[in-house]
Structure 1
Amino acid sequence: MSTTEAIERDADPSSEDRWAAVRDMPPSAKLVAKVLDYEDTLTQSQIAEESLLPPRTVRYALSRLEEEGAVDSRFSFSDARKRLYTLNV
């Protein structure tokens, strides 16, 4: 995207901000969303490893992100005890 296109997109009030659902969330939720943005699909333990956040904090962040519809989760086919999380924004 060129600089001109970026400026026009920002100036256009009808363009939807991709990160609007995440903007007012706690910093841990923003970090988890950014990790998922880079890594695509991860388990909760993989997110904790990548973000260096405690598992409990990752659980809380994922629950907040799921409430807002910013993250989708599904069961892992290889291990049904685990869930896979994907960014939805």
Structure 2
Amino acid sequence: MSTTAEEAASPDPPHSNAEYRDRLRELPPSAKLVAKVLESDAPLSQGQLVEESLLPDRTVRYALNRLEEVGLVDSRYSFKDARKHVYFLTR
């Protein structure tokens, strides 16, 4: 079985929610890309987001901050490595 506890614990993203799409529309392209990566493959650490999005670490950090400011992304400690946070889309 390939599903980890982290994957099973992540909430389903609100892909079709109009309010979600409106808040996302106002954000920079880097934040939109990070949100798209999280839609298909969450929860992910910042390093994993860098690898998946092909964006620089600093840009991913900025995108995550913007997404958190508008309440589209949340984080928690990783079950695999408590030193790291993993990010996922909120409901």
Same fold (TM over 0.5): yes
Shift of 1:31: 0.3
Deviations 1:22-46 (A, max 9, x none): 1110100000000000112100000
Question: In the aligned structure 2, how far is the partner of 1:78 from the partner of 1:39?
Answer: 16
Q: Aligned residue for 1:7?
A: none
Residues 67-78 of structure 1 correspond to what in structure 2 (within 5 A)? 67-78=69-80
Q: Aligned residue for 1:52?
A: 54
**In the alignment, which of 35, 41, 45 is matched to residue 43 of structure 1?**
45
Question: In the aligned structure 2, how far is the partner of 1:52 from the partner of 1:23?
Answer: 21
Q: Aligned residue for 1:31?
A: 33
RMSD (Å) for aligned C-alpha atoms? 1.4
Question: In the aligned structure 2, how far is the partner of 1:32 from the partner of 1:24?
Answer: 14
Mind listing any 5+ residue stretches in structure 2 that lack a counterpart? 1-16
Mind listing any 5+ residue stretches in structure 1 that lack a counterpart? 1-14
**In the alignment, which of 48, 63, 66 is matched to residue 65 of structure 2?**
63
Matched residue type, 1:24: E
User: Per the alignment, in what secondary structure is the counterpart of residue 79 of structure 2?
Assistant: coil
Which structure would you say has the larger RCO, counting Cα contacts within 8 Å and 6 or more residues apart? 2
Are 2:74 and 2:87, in contact at CA under 8 Å, matched by a contact in 1? yes
**In the alignment, which of 19, 22, 25 is matched to residue 20 of structure 1?**
22
- Aligned residue pairs total 75
Are 2:20 and 2:72, in contact at CA under 8 Å, matched by a contact in 1? no
* Paired-residue identity, %: 60
